[in-house]
Structure 1
Amino acid sequence: MAKILIADDSKLQKLEIAKFLIKLGHQVLEAKDGNEAVQIVEQFLPDLVLMDVVMPDCNGFSALRRIKNNEKVKHIPVIMVSTKSEDIDKIWASKQGAVGYITKPVDFNLLENEINKNL
């Protein structure tokens, strides 16, 4: 069982992904934006982060950079989960330190494979 943070401003997206993760036996943490995600990562040290890109206040790319620039938590894998599906978004996420990129609507088989690959 892993501790996985879902950072997404959509309550429905968080609920759908959380249900899936719980069904797989994982513990779920939730954040509503990038700032909260960074705080939760630093406080609870999850095993993996699923991060939306488009969020208020602090977007997913900014939160990803903050996590990867923090020595204490930079080892935690971050998979971006977003409606942004352009190749440039995927490239940018990779350059910022993301280990994967999944587009919405979420393909749960792909999500499970990415999670297993990065835990």
Structure 2
Amino acid sequence: MPVKHILVVDDSPTERFFTVDVLTRAGYQVSTAENGEEGIAKAKTLKPDLILMDVVMPGLNGYQATRTLTRDDDTKEIPVIVCTSKGQETDKIWGMRQGAVDYLVKPLNPEELLQRIAAMP
């Protein structure tokens, strides 16, 4: 099933604006959430085709939100790509262990982001 609707979960207005701009120019429908709790709630109601999840956020962090989403029957089929400034190998391993299907380190490269999305099964 091709990706059409993407939920961007990031507490940074600048990062959200940049990511939404890249995705809408590429023809995707985009929704946003400012933190993990809002991301989980919107994922359950909007049922996006893909979630781009930041890690460092107030309240529920992106690892916790990803783990919640990938273990919930309502949202476990929605793939999550972690997009974060945390670039250590241990961070990536931990992100993938939470159920993420991919892991990108900020600053995001627009071409790489779009390639990863296009490669989604």
TM-score (structure 1 length as normaliser):
0.97
The structure 1 segments of at least 4 consecutive aligned residues displaced by more than 4 Å after TM superposition are none
1:38-66, Cα deviation, whole Å (9 max, x unpaired): 00000100000000000001100000011
2:72 paired residue among 70, 73, 77: 70
Q: CA deviation at 1:89?
A: 0.6
Structure 1: state its 5+ residue gaps: none
Q: Which amino acid is 2:114 matched to?
A: E
1:73-97, Cα deviation, whole Å (9 max, x unpaired): 1010100000000000100111111
1:1-119 alignment to 2 at 5 Å? 2-118=4-120
Two-structure CA RMSD over aligned residues (Å): 0.9
Q: Which amino acid is 1:16 matched to?
A: F
Structure 2: state its 5+ residue gaps: none
Q: Secondary structure at the match of 1:118?
A: coil
State percent identity of aligned pairs.
38
Q: Which amino acid is 2:80 matched to?
A: V
Per mean C-alpha deviation after superposition, the further-off stretch among 13-22 and 1-10 is: 1-10
TM-score (structure 2 length as normaliser):
0.95
Count of matched residue positions in the alignment of Structure 1 and Structure 2: 119
